[in-house]
Chain A
Amino acid sequence: MNTSIFEKHYDIIIIGGGATGAGTARDCAMRGLSTLLVERYDFTTGATGRNHGLLHSGARYAVTDQESATECIDENMILRYIAKPYVEEHDGLFITLPEDDLAYQEKFVESCWKAGINAKIIDPKEAIQMEPSVNPTLIGAVQVPDGSIDPFRLTMANVLDAQLHGAQVLTYHEVTGFIMENGRMMGVYLRDNITGEKREARAEITINAAGIWGTLVARMAGVNVSMFPAKGSLLIFGHRVNNMVINRCRKPANADILVPGDAITVIGTTSDRVPIESVDDMHVTPEEVEVLLSEGAKLAPALATTRILRAYAGVRPLVASDNDPSGRSISRGIVCLDHETRDGLAGFITITGGKLMTYRMMAEVATDMACSKLGVQQKCQTATTPLPGSDKSTVEEPENHLYAFNARVGRHGTLAPSIAAMDDYQNSLVCECEEVSVGEVAHAIENMHVRTLTQLRRRVRLGMGTCQGELCALRAAGILCASCKKSIEEEMADLAEFLNERWKGMYPVGWGSTLSEAQLTSIIYQDLCGITSPSMKDRRQEP
């Protein structure tokens, strides 16, 4: 590791490699602050990578939380511009079913308009024509400017841009304590989670953007940020059932949002308070699966017979307020805490609450606060400056049509041409489901902090398709071995971990085609290839 990273005295250290941390790093760097982003594992491993991927119009919150609704629609419009290749603009429906109160619709539309959301009541028949998968028994429909967004690529684009503006980025570096001098926070103690090495980094201001883990980070600094860990479980279906987001037009409840994204559809969520101690290891329970399936089928009946790819759960970093057991009625509003005025701890800011949709605004608020403390005048430009990959409106296709070119543009926008595609080797396909080439894998390894298969999956969707990594994982493992100078043992363990990570998501929905697919995977990796456990150091078969 480059030691100069640790010798520098930064203006800002940001803790947390989710959308908010990455967005804050980008904002700080763009305003000319010397910036270091630290993340204890990989990017997007918290709530950023474990949600619907919904580009909220804000309509969902219009009735219950006007402030969040307004923030959502503002950011919705900004993201369409600054994050174009990572956004799908397909609109959404809020449907009323016979069991729902149609009178709610009027209040809903009125609230939407008040928040600045273009909500349009449409005839149920028209809704069925627009979105044929919708429950045909609907008695009301409202069209809103919902969309979907890929949180993995959105976050990486923020990281890339932060780096382009001079920010330093460290993944697998966990904050273990704070450097305190005269009652002021002057930086962080770090542990390299791969090598175990201990480090420290210094800065004028440290920003806590660690999502739900922010409460633990704050505790470590001796201040109290009371959070409400609200677990949300979701299911991914094996193909794109719907082409518009489908919501229930009622007070927010379980499993009432169905979001299409790329080649799949996601239903979610549940909402339950969980102990803070459990947030590192979330499992989807059979009861949650039951609710998601039965409620989901009310939005789109086809879900009942669609293959489920996997299940996953994230934890919302809600800021505790009243006695709401589910957390549904807690505001999704942004909370930015100045610990100097609040707790007498200078040099420390916590940015939390909010949601994926408002990550940029959260970053702006936190950066504004940091700038005012540092006496920096620069204004925020993140709302008007496109992210890497969305700087031009179109990508010229090379003269000789390249295989999987469109998939690459879809994933990387205008950065796609920088992916090596010079020769046949670079164009070879590693993952057929998602059309990922050797060149794209190399690009991710080189530019996107990739050393493992799971990281590769988050960056380029490798193994996210219908086969869930049946052949591509092993192909990519070979490339990782060669490009990252990893030992075979290390890569073998990585492969085993990848297989188990995929299985973790399949396990809660282990029946039907998912079970059949799992059996095929076991035949290939365990029976044919002979992988039997996560650590297979000894190749000999001792009789």
Chain B
Amino acid sequence: MKFDYIIIGGGLSGLTCGIRLSQAGKKVAIISAGQSTLHFGSGSLDLLGYDNEGNIADNPLDAIGRLNENHPYRKIGTERIERLAEEAKTLLDDCGIHTTGTAQKNHYRITPMGFLKPTWLTLENYATSPSASELPWKSVILANVAGFLDFPIEFISDGLGKLGTRTEVEIISIPALKARRHSPSEMRSANIAKILSSEETLNQIAEVLNSMEETAEAILMPAIVGLDKQDSESSLKQKVRRPLLLLPTLPPSVPGIRMQTMLQRRFTQLGGLYLMGSMVKEGHVENGKLEYVTTSTLMDERLTADAYILATGSFLSDGLKSNYERIFEPILNLDVTAKENRADWIDPNVFRTQPYQAFGVKTNERFQTSLEGQTLENMYAIGSVLGGHNAIQQADGTGVSMMTALAVANQLINNL
């Protein structure tokens, strides 16, 4: 099978790249092994939350120039990032993923522990604040579903209180959720969201929320609606008299799953081939080029393309692997940037910088990978499989995924 481009990895970066290439009329296949890290997401996308010194980046674009030179953003450059950030937002809109926020100024999302964190784009209907030190409401109702333990309400309520917002906690339920609780493993965000997808259950929830006293300015509730599309979220919002805003929960992330679904849907609509549950078995390299790949699902079929894009993610997605001896890229054994000595991979204090977080596949300025020092002209790497930055400390993981995906896609489209 012959494609214009083959993308290995179907998460945020792979899909962003795939959609962009498909929009330009290219024939694209995505080989996806499984779940996406979006399933652990917050409903927001981060461009750059903290600068090199660990301070909040008020304007992410300003801070990019001062990042380590190995940071993927430095390969793209601030000006291009500014353009790509706009493009990313438009691409998300095109997929039906509507967000607020700009690259020029971070806003703040509320974490499931009640902290504020700087971020770039947040899904519509999710609670945010323009300020790092206070919230836009004087008083809110914090409503949780009875028995839903993945929304630690004690911590959130304390956090909102410390930011100066009076918080009233309400525990709500409806018959369908009560029934579901008989099975103790069912009270997880995605399962609840499946129940809260019918008009009937949404009406019942709205009725409970509307029966609360009219003192608070807004109602905040966990992100347990809108698993498949935004409709049920908007529908519930319309039914509730006061402003209703959502807060992220512990995984699985309903907004993350929805983002993944909608990106995937858009990609296939555009004619892309999404090979689900498929892994690259072998890649054949000759004369500094990847000639073809074979997959676990299409056993003997050689898939070929003009260029290949590696978007397999970091360690938790198996895009990078480690063993007793070394850190490696498991598909082609591409060159990686990683410390050789195992003792230098990790720090004994979990809260200090963990060097492994910044390990990744080595690329040149154009995100071309290399094998034993030789550049693979038609093999690119994007997203979390890239090294050079610490996404945990800098809050830039989703941004790097989208920016590098678009940078590479545009390069290919424009034959640069």
Residues in A lying within 8 Å of B, measured CB to CB: 283, 286, 293, 403-404, 424-425, 427-430, 432, 437-438, 471, 474-475, 477-478, 481-482, 488, 491-492, 496, 499-500, 502-504, 507, 510-512, 515-520, 522-524, 526-534, 536, 538-543
Contacts and interface: CB of A to CB of B under 8 A. Distances in A.
A404 B315 CA distance: 32
A109 to B, nearest CB: 37
Contacts of B149: 428, 430, 438, 475, 478
B203 interface: no
A507 to B, nearest CB: 5
B148 to A, nearest CB: 9
A523 to B, nearest CB: 5
A425 B42 CA distance: 26
A432 B253 CA distance: 18
Nearest to B146: A425
B162 interface: yes
B398 to A, nearest CB: 10
15 contacts: A286-B343, A403-B184, A403-B185, A438-B149, A471-B250, A481-B155, A499-B350, A500-B351, A510-B342, A512-B323, A518-B346, A523-B392, A526-B392, A531-B113, A539-B162
Given A286-B342, A507-B348, A523-B392, A474 B108 contact: no
Instruction: Rank and list the top 8 A-B pairs by shortest CB-CB distance, nearest first.
Output: A530-B115, A503-B350, A530-B111, A424-B181, A488-B158, A539-B162, A541-B132, A475-B149
A482 B154 CA distance: 8
Contacts of A502: 350
A522 B162 CA distance: 25
B14 interface: no
Contacts of B185: 403, 429, 432
A524 B251 contact: yes
Residues of A contacting B: mostly: helix
B315 A516 contact: yes
Given A530-B111, A533-B351, A511 B146 contact: no
Contacts of A427: 184
Nearest to B347: A507
B40 A539 contact: no
B233 interface: no
B154 A543 contact: no
Which bucket holds chain B's interface residue count? 35 or more
Given A516-B315, A543-B56, A500 B115 contact: no
Given A425-B146, A523-B392, 20 more contacts: A283-B348, A403-B183, A424-B184, A474-B112, A500-B350, A500-B351, A511-B345, A512-B322, A515-B322, A522-B354, A522-B392, A523-B37, A526-B392, A528-B111, A528-B248, A530-B111, A530-B117, A531-B351, A539-B159, A541-B132
A511 B111 contact: no
B282 interface: no
Given A510-B345, A519-B315, A520-B316, A488 B154 contact: yes
A520 to B, nearest CB: 4
B132 A543 contact: yes
Residue from the set A471, A488, A504, A534 with the largest chain B CB neighbour count within 10 Å: A488
B163 A540 contact: yes
A520 B357 CA distance: 11
Interface of B: 37, 40-42, 55-56, 58, 108, 111-118, 132-133, 146-147, 149-150, 152-155, 158-159, 162-163, 178, 181-185, 187, 248, 250-251, 253, 314-316, 318, 321-324, 342-343, 345-346, 348-351, 354, 356-357, 391-392, 395, 397
Contact of A540 (B132, B146, B153): B132
A500 B248 CA distance: 24
Nearest to A500: B350
A540 B116 contact: yes
Contacts of B147: 424-425, 428
A401 to B, nearest CB: 11
B248 A488 contact: no
A517 B187 CA distance: 23
Given A477-B152, A529-B111, A541-B56, A519 B350 contact: no
A507 B351 contact: no
A477 B154 CA distance: 9
Contacts of B37: 523
B346 A507 contact: yes
A541 B117 contact: yes
Contacts of B181: 424, 428
Contacts of A520: 40, 316
A433 to B, nearest CB: 12
A523 B345 CA distance: 17
Nearest to A531: B113
Contacts of B114: 539
A436 to B, nearest CB: 11
A155 B182 CA distance: 34
Contacts of B354: 518, 522
B357 A519 contact: yes
A500 B354 CA distance: 13
A515 B150 CA distance: 24
B154 A516 contact: no
A524 B146 CA distance: 23
A538 B395 CA distance: 19
Contacts of A518: 346, 350, 354
A475 B113 CA distance: 11
A257 B126 CA distance: 54
B348 A504 contact: yes
A429 B191 CA distance: 15
Contacts of B315: 515-516, 519
A425 B395 CA distance: 36
Contacts of B345: 510-511, 515
A485 to B, nearest CB: 12
Nearest to A539: B162
A272 B162 CA distance: 50
Residue from the set A283, A437, A492, A543 with the largest chain B CB neighbour count within 10 Å: A543
A295 to B, nearest CB: 15
A524 B133 contact: no
Contacts of A512: 321-324
Residue from the set B117, B184, B349 with the largest chain A CB neighbour count within 10 Å: B184
A283 B349 CA distance: 13
A431 B391 CA distance: 28
Contacts of A477: 152, 155
B86 to A, nearest CB: 24
A528 B247 CA distance: 12
A511 B155 contact: no
B184 A529 contact: no
A424 B315 CA distance: 37
B98 to A, nearest CB: 21
B60 to A, nearest CB: 13
Nearest to B37: A523
A492 B155 contact: yes
Nearest to B108: A541
B316 to A, nearest CB: 4
Nearest to A426: B184
A527 B351 CA distance: 11
Nearest to A438: B149
Nearest to A523: B40
Contact of B152 (A478, A522, A526): A478
